Amino acid sequence: MTYYEKIIKYLGDDASYYLDHVCKKIVKDRLPSSDNGWDDTVFINSNRNPKVLRSLSQLYNHGNLAGTGYLSILPVDQGI
């Protein structure tokens, strides 16, 4: 059994609701492409200090989303 089949099994009747969803408010073409060096192309023409650019690069190239152009910061100070 593949992972996809396991997911469908766990979701049961709601599988098509979650897996076949298409967002109509945000068009896929308007999302920036996510590739290696994405942070360089976006921030290179800014007036940011090189230390700030290095820190941004470290954030974008660390963790499960490393190198994808996406960054996830969780609100750990919310008392959860």
| pLDDT value at 19 more than 80 | yes
| pLDDT value at 9 more than 90 | yes
Quote the DSSP letter at residue 66.
Answer: T
| pLDDT value at 80 more than 60 | no
Considering only 2-6, 9-13, 74-78, which range has the smallest mean pLDDT?
74-78
Contact 63, 74 (CB under 8 A): no
Q: Domain coordinates of the chain in residue numbers?
A: 3-78
Distance CA 14, CA 24 (A): 20
The residue behind tokens 């230390």 is 51
| pLDDT value at 1 more than 60 | yes
Average pLDDT over residues 57-70: 81
Distance CA 14, CA 17 (A): 5
